[in-house]
Amino acid sequence: MGSHAAPHHRNRRLLVLASGLMLVVGGLLGLPRADGAPAEGDACHTAGTRLPRGDCGPFWQVLAEDFNRDRVPLGSFSDCEHDVDTSAAYCGGLKGKYRDNWWAYPTGWPDTARSRGRQVVGVYHPEDTVSVGPAANGDGRMSVRMWRPADGGPVHAAALVPRAVMQMKYGKYSARIKVTEPAPGYKSAWLHYGGGCEMDHPEGEWDGALSSFHHPCEGGEQGYFPGADDWTHWHTVSTEWTPGHVRFFVDGRLTGHDTRGVPDRALSWVLQNESALEGPVAAPGSSARLEITWVAAYAYGWK
């Protein structure tokens, strides 16, 4: 189970200067697409508030979820031990389209903090952290409310996995997110990882800044790319992963691009939310909430 807590980093003296230069050059000239043609921005122009629908460029849409269907109350993301870490994985407590489209790390798996030796660690509990329903304005949202028991036990965390893009090589992965209830000690690291490779976007403590990281497959220093100052504003985040390239976007703006050791193997997209790896730990009795208003994912070059 420990292998499901992705190995994390934290040395930010990395590629900030190089990435800054890359972004300047990219802004002036347009960074190359995988086929060598210039790409001035997000291939699907994914910057707005609405769920994007349809194919774009080399990407074929395989998931478009706006959470406007049936409610999914707390308790539904349960019994998730079936065919774990495969495209056949499912949560027995879910029904209909949500059962078809979503899986979660099962109750009891440890989060990354345990392998890092943190004072406060987390344990995945999707059954009491994840729900789906309308916000006050009627907008459908997936809510991830992490919390720490008043008795000082482990943080209840959640890692969600869209089934349509489990074990898929390359693609585009987008979502619109906001931390609506921040608190110290909680974070996200939405990622693709495996075989010594790792791409993290977005990542950061919820009471801090939103960033991206890339860990080249062959090792070497990680790429660190600042993205936005505050999780508590709505942001559209996108990762574009193509042969030899990984690009990170925030609100349609290119924030990072790396070509070193980009994965060329099938990986799953994990929407990992967990206890913080830096800074203050979660206080007993505290909680924090992330809301997701839509998720879109695309295969690369399948047509």
The confidence score (pLDDT) of residue 44 equals 80
Is-cis flag, bond preceding 162, omega within 30?
no
**What is the pLDDT averaged over residues 146-167?**
97
Report whether pLDDT(6) > 80: no
The confidence score (pLDDT) of residue 17 equals 34
Q: How far apart are CA 288 and CA 156, in angstroms?
A: 11
Would you say 222 and 9 are in contact if contact means Cβ atoms under 8 Å apart? yes
Q: How far apart are CA 236 and CA 175, in angstroms?
A: 6
Would you say 62 and 165 are in contact if contact means Cβ atoms under 8 Å apart? yes
The confidence score (pLDDT) of residue 23 equals 40
Strands 155-162 and 122-124: parallel
pLDDT band of residue 32 (cuts 50, 70, 90) is: very low
Report whether pLDDT(113) > 70: yes
Q: How far apart are CA 257 and CA 240, in angstroms?
A: 9
| 61: β partners | 298
The confidence score (pLDDT) of residue 43 equals 79
The confidence score (pLDDT) of residue 50 equals 86
pTM assigned to the model: 0.88
The confidence score (pLDDT) of residue 303 equals 61
Would you say 275 and 120 are in contact if contact means Cβ atoms under 8 Å apart? yes
Would you say 92 and 104 are in contact if contact means Cβ atoms under 8 Å apart? no
Q: What is the mean pLDDT of the chain?
A: 88
Q: pLDDT tens digit string along 182-228?
A: 999 999 999 999 999 999 999 999 999 999 999 999 888 999 999 99
Report whether pLDDT(98) > 80: yes
Q: pLDDT tens digit string along 35-88?
A: 433 355 787 877 667 899 999 989 999 999 999 988 999 999 999 999 999 999
Report whether pLDDT(13) > 50: no
The confidence score (pLDDT) of residue 2 equals 36
Q: Can you spell out the DSSP letters for 194-257?
A: ETTEEEEEEEEETTS-EEEEEE-TT-SPPEEEEEES-TTS-EEEEEEEETTEEEEEETTEEEEE
Would you say 192 and 168 are in contact if contact means Cβ atoms under 8 Å apart? no
DSSP code of 23?
Answer: H
